[in-house]
């Protein structure tokens, strides 16, 4: 990971950031294995450069963006809470830019309602994508409603802690949607498609009763196998750091995003 300059932003938190060693050594990135330490251990051979993202579908100006185009966007540092669906959380200083500014460049059509994302498939560089046991169908796919995708909090991230993204965190470019569970934050993106239909999403395909399309952080709606009422903040001094805390609706971003879901039953649309 190389050094990466970014402007300061108004997106800060008065909570301590999670130590970088935890952010980069405790990951869910099943393309590199299902263990939390697997992505850091198994991603050394992954080549995040050169890289292109194809943006297509219901847009006036479909095009490809090279990594250099993404790094030329006005980058800012934004510190967000990250809440995993597994009831743990981190505070991460991302570097990135609003997804909306990328979408503006391709001019979505009025008929576009959703944005679909796709992760790279490289079995020769991603050991989780080869062998007899494949934990998920590839490519990993995710999606957002267009208004969620255009929300000012939604960013494409190209770095963290002042450097380009480590492979295990989704190099070279990933999605960050801070009010949703972490699995929505699709990594190593190669394709973005504007569409008028709700796109399939990987974890929803894998277990529809456990992972919904929306996946908004919600302490009132339990995962079938565990409560979502509280979370374990990673990296706060081992067993006795007092790391168990209440989970906030929309991960604490309710003031900014709750209006997106006005009138929706969030227990049904989990």
Partner 1 sequence: MIALPALPRKYHGASVWALYALGFVPAISGFYLGATGQLPGNAIKEFEHLLGIWALRFLIATLCITPIRDLFGINWIRYRRALGLLAFWYVAMHFSTYMILDKYLDFPQIVADIAKRPFITIGMAGFVMLIPLALTSNNWSIRRLGPRWNRLHKLVYVIAAAGALHFAMSVKVVGPEQMIYIAVVTALLVWRLFRPRFNQWRRGTAGRPGMGRAA
The residues binding partner 1 (CB under 8 A) are 21-22, 25-26, 30, 34, 36-37, 86, 88, 132-133, 135-136, 206-207, 222, 224-227, 229-230, 232, 234-235, 237-241, 243-244
Partners of 261 in the β-ladder: none
- Token output for 215: 């996946």
At its nearest, how many Å lie between partner 1 and the CB of residue 18? 10
At its nearest, how many Å lie between partner 1 and the CB of residue 36? 6
Give the Cα separation of 117 and 201 in Å (integer). 9
Would you list the DSSP string of 138-170? SS-EEEEEHHHHTSTT-EEEEEETTEEPPGGGT
By C-beta, is 101 or 227 nearer to partner 1? 227
Q: Are 148 and 214 in contact (CB under 8 A)?
A: no
- Interstrand relation of 88-98 and 230-233 (parallel, antiparallel or unpaired): parallel
Beta-carbon count within 10 A of 194 CB = 23
By C-beta, is 6 or 90 nearer to partner 1? 90
At its nearest, how many Å lie between partner 1 and the CB of residue 14? 23
By C-beta, is 99 or 234 nearer to partner 1? 234
By C-beta, is 86 or 147 nearer to partner 1? 86
Edge-to-edge strand order for the sheet containing 114-119? 63-66, 52-57, 189-195, 114-119, 141-145
At its nearest, how many Å lie between partner 1 and the CB of residue 181? 12
At its nearest, how many Å lie between partner 1 and the CB of residue 39? 11
């Amino acid at each position: 990971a190389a050094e990466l300059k970014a402007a300061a932003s108004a997106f800060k938190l008065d909570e301590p950031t999670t130590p970088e060693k935890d952010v980069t050594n405790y990951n869910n990135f099943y393309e590199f294995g299902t263990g939390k330490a697997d992505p850091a251990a198994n991603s050394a051979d992954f080549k995040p450069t050169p890289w292109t993202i194809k943006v297509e579908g219901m847009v006036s100006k479909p095009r490809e963006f090279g990594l250099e185009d993404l790094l030329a966007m006005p980058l800012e540092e934004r510190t967000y809470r990250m809440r995993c669906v597994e009831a743990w959380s981190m505070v991460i200083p991302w570097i990135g830019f609003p997804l909306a500014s990328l979408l503006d460049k391709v001019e979505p059509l009025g008929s576009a309602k959703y944005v679909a994302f796709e992760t790279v498939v490289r079995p020769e560089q991603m050991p989780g994508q080869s062998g007899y046991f494949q934990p998920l169908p590839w490519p990993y796919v995710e999606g957002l409603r267009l208004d969620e995708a255009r929300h000012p909090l939604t960013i494409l991230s190209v770095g963290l802690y002042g450097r380009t993204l480590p492979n295990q965190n989704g190099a070279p470019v990933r999605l960050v949607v801070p009010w949703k569970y972490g699995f929505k934050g699709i990594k190593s993106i190669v394709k973005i498609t504007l569409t008028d239909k709700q796109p399939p999403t990987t974890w929803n395909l894998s277990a529809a009763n456990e992972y919904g399309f929306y996946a908004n952080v919600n302490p009132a709606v339990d995962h079938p196998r565990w409560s979502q009422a509280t979370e374990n903040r990673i990296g706060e001094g081992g067993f006795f750091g007092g790391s168990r805390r209440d989970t906030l609706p929309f991960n604490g971003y309710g003031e900014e995003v709750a209006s997106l879901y006005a009138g929706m039953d969030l227990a049904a649309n989990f």
